[in-house]
Structure 1
Amino acid sequence: MKQIIIIGGGAAGFFCASNLDEKKYKITILEQNSDVLQKVKISGGGRCNVTHACFDPKELVQFYPRGNKELLSVFTKFQPGDTMEWFDQRNVPLKIEGDNRTFPESNSSQTIINTFQKEIQHKDVEVKTKCSVKEIKKQDEKYLVVTSLGDFSADYVVYTTGSSPKSLKIAENLGHTIVPLVPSLFTFNIKDDLLKELPGTSFENAEVSIPSLKTEESGPLLITHWGLSGPAVLKISAWEAISLAQLKYQVEIEVNFIVKTMDEAEELFQNAKLSHPKKTIGQSKMFDITNRFWHKVLEISKVDLNKQIANVSGKETQTILENLCKKKLKVTGKSTFKDEFVTAGGIDLKEINFKNMSSKVLPNFYIAGEVLNIDAVTGGFNFQACWSEAWLIAQDLNSL
């Protein structure tokens, strides 16, 4: 019986093992940590954001800053609908939330972990934890995997290690090209009077742009203790991960907190002035923002809260509206987004055959997951890439 060694006990490794034909192969998973599926456990705040309800591959690839062209063919073979069906067949119903993120109905990542554990027990897959791979040697038709727990011989290697520098070094030593790693999905560190004392304030929709990079994203926005977070910031950090790393995370952004042009905002302001001229400006919040934020905008615009709205000058109005629609903020660094650390960079995609995720450099060697130079915005997309890639590998091996 031929031996498959899967290196890495994360999402891609376990999904591949769960779909392999155990009558054909002896399957062993090697994991360097004491626990398997660690990212699955913490994903979605412990609920596990399994996938995203986007069922058109052409639309789905738009969420991947790196890998979008390559993943198109992968998603035509296995996409979120297939993921949902796969879990459904194993009595794990998934539910689609309002923003299309998809979770187990149990709201617990343990449900997903238990499903994988059950699958691999049924297939008699051997799992070795605390097993650190030191080196992989090509020997004739086979591979020798040198680990902290001794040597393993493999007819086929499935490399799903995640993006640790050590695992990329091993791949490089075997002949693969590595695109340098940079963080993706991070929040912006900003010190500005407007954001002071307002952590927790959120905006249902805002626009964040980086004028020097000619890029803009919109979506929910959140003020944090360190600066700004939320989908609008996370999306722009993912798409511009490489440029922002080159700029050492020092850049000026422009934020439109109310997603209105200056003209539209001015019209609303003038209407409020006409409707209630005697009201104080502090009581005249006419935009979809919190009172605290409105008062802060007035404070940094140096407009007295108790001034009647009729007496607010044209110059003061312009300052208020600029702080709402065109606020320039200096980013001075980044913070990791929760524990769901994602990187751009990894094994060069030109060296992968996306029909079956096999290496073009090494025979009988398959690669999937975050070790590849593929990453996505937040919302279940990174897992979906893992499931789809791992499924292709299992199908290919099963057909040999």
Structure 2
Amino acid sequence: MTEQQKPAAKSVADTTKSSRRRFLSGAGIAAGAAVATVAMPNVSRAQTVTLKFQSTWPSKDIFHEMAGDYATRVNEMSGGRLKLELLAAGSVVPAFQMQDAVHSGVLDAGHGVSAYWYGKHKAFSLFGTVPPFGWDANGVLAWMAYGGGYKFYNELLHDILKLNIVGFMSAPMPCQPLGWFKKEVKTAEDFKNLKYRTVGLSADVFKEMGAAVTIVAGGEIVPAMDRGLLDAAEFNNPSSDRVLGFPDVSKVFMLQSWHQSAECFEIIFNKTKFDALSAEQKAVIKYAAEAASSDMSWKALDRYSRDLQELQTKDKVKVYTTPRAVQDAQLKAWDVVLKAQRAEPFFDKVVKSQLDWVRRTVRYELLNTPSKQMAYNHTFAPKKG
């Protein structure tokens, strides 16, 4: 080997530089791997779970559509690892048997209102169709989350009734109309012996006012009115009422009422099935209920207002405001009903909690919030001159 072919001897400095490069290169690879490890999201290895999810609503009702909105959120937020298979009322069991079916595992989950289980314990109505203390349905959901409502609700489900159910409240509903009648309601006396449909504690209120109350599911109301089994009925809102066919059996629609001035949906799961889910699947179910709450209130404001216009312009329905005297009679009937029901200790405990919550929170709202009507009239009322 010639002198030219021999590799040049490396200096101490060259050797040090080379070692440093190898060290930094290796450290960089290690650091990159560490960063990648930290940045990589925790991907769930949970197996995909499909749950049978039946609503208590007919397939054409906007409430069934809203149950579907909740299912869509769960399905998409879970990344396909959890799927709610939506079914309409009657697909597996009738509407009023949905809770029993979820408890037993015949259904995995269901969508309805807690007042439907009022026959098992009247306090169920306190979590869905609350007494009219001056609050709205958003205030009810706030009480559930921050005022102790869920503690009482779970006590009713698990300790008192021993139900194998986990539940979530969702979707603040606007005040419900007084309903559909053969003629305009002008006085409280018009309810005497009137065959009227409602649910929950509202049934006791109208009985106190003299009505002959019948409790039937939403899809059964219009056929009952058509056959003369009911003289009048309330369901919930202009969109549901219109699509269920109320304008076909009545042309008198009364708005404003204290019978169900604040209500929300109840979404329930079989507890055994729910407990078997992963932590992130449980979180999706919970937070999807909150997300659906917001969307439902936005959709309701749009659709209900549009359908009220359609009822008046296309269906030729006459819309009336419930007289103040009838509303006063409703509040007095509520006083009688609550006094009687508060003899039951659990019922009384829940009502006391609600009263404490409303006394503080609605006082704040009343002190802080100016009149909607004042601003609306200023903007839209005909200008003099």
Q: Same fold (TM over 0.5)?
A: no
Instruction: Flag the structure with higher helix content.
Output: 2
Higher relative contact order (CA 8 A, sep 6+): 1
CA radius of gyration, larger in: 2
Instruction: Flag the structure with higher strand content.
Output: 1
TM-score interval (norm. to shorter): under 0.3
